Copies of this chain bind each other. A is one copy, B any other.
Amino acid sequence: MAARAATLTDVAKEAGVSLATASRALNGSDRVVRAELHDRVLAAATRLGYSPNAQAQSMARGSTDLVGLLVNDIADPYFSTIAAGLANAAEEQGLLVMLCSTAGRPERELELLGALRRQRGRAIVIAGSRTSDRSHLRELSAQIDPFVSSGGRVVAISEPKLQVDTLVVDNRGGARELASEIAALGYRKPAILAGPEQLLVSQDRKAGFAEGWPSAEPVVVADEFSRDGGFRAMHRLLDSGAEVDCVFAINDLMALGAMAACRERDVDVPGDLAVAGFDDISTLRDVTPELTTVRLPLTEMGHMALDLVLGDRTVKPRRRKVRGEVVLRESTPAR
C-alpha cells in the first residue's frame, strides 16, 4: 500500500534533524555528526526501512557506481565466464554491473550501447568480437566518442578496431601456435570450421592457423559461432568428401558440435580425425576425448578489463595483450 519509499527527508523528520545532518550521518561525509544525533538518524532510518535512492545520489554527486557490460550472448560460456570475472572485480570496487546481451544480433549492439550510455556508468565494457563492417564501426564510434569525451570510459575485449582501451586477445598468435604444434604431431591434412565471415575473431583465428601450418592450405567450412554451427559445419565437411586428418574449430563450442557430428557419422575422434578448439571453456574440460584447445584466461580477462578501464587515463587508447596457451589433450594424439 504505502506507495512511496521512505526518503531522506522522511528520515530527517522522523529523527528531528535537518536533511543535511541526516545525509551526513547516513553516508560517511567528511563532516562529523555528534554521536547522539548520528544514532537517532540511524534508528529512524531503520525504523522507516530507508534505502537511499541511488539515482538521486548519482545526480547529486555527479557520478554513478555502475559499469556496463555488453556481450554477444550471456548464455555462451565464453561470455558468462568473462562476466563472472568482471562482476567479481566490480563488486570489490563497490560497483554494479549492468548487463546487455545482443543475443547474437550484432545490429543490436548499437542500441544497447546507447542504453548503457544513458545510464551514465563509470565505464562500459564491450566484450564481443568486432566485425569487418565499417559502417557499423562508425556508428559505434558515434556513440562511444561523445561518451568518452564527456568523461566516460570504454574498454573493448576484442580486436583493436575501436579507438578505445582494448584488451587485445592474441587470436592469431594462439591459432598459429596451435597449428604448428598439431602439425608437429604428424598431421598433414587440416580443415578449419570457421564462424561467420565478418567476425574478426573468426578471421584472425583462421588466418593464424593457416599461417602456422607448414604446408597445405586448410579446407575451410563456415557456419554459426556455436555448438550447432560446428555440428552443421562438420557434417558438411564430411559430406564434401575432403580428405582431412584434423579439424580446427574456431572455438570450443563449435568443436563440441563437430565431435557430436563425428559421433553421429561413426567417425572416430581422434582415431579417424583429430579435433581442436579454442577458448578452453571450463565445462568442456571433461568431454571425451579431452579437447585440445587454446586456453584463454577468461575470468581474469574480466578482471583485467575492469582494471584497464578504471585505471590511469593519461595514455589515451591503451592496449593490453592477452595471450592464449596451447593445451594439447587427447583429441589430437601424436600420429
Contacts and interface: CB of A to CB of B under 8 A. Distances in A.
A267 B303 CA distance: 39
Contacts of A50: 146
A2 B146 CA distance: 9
Interface residues of A, number: 72
Number of copies: 2
A99 B87 CA distance: 8
* Chain A binding surface, main DSSP class: helix
Contacts of A244: none
Contacts of A3: 150-151
A284 interface: yes
Interface stretch (A72-80, A130-138, A167-175, A233-241): A72-80
A215 interface: no
B2 A150 contact: yes
Contacts of A66: 98
A286 B146 contact: no
A53 B99 contact: no
A253 interface: yes
A203 to B, nearest CB: 25
10 contacts: A5-B152, A51-B114, A52-B118, A74-B84, A87-B101, A91-B103, A91-B112, A97-B99, A286-B287, A288-B288
Given A51-B147, A91-B100, 17 more contacts: A1-B149, A3-B150, A6-B146, A50-B146, A53-B59, A53-B120, A55-B59, A69-B99, A75-B81, A75-B84, A75-B299, A77-B80, A80-B83, A97-B99, A97-B100, A283-B283, A287-B287
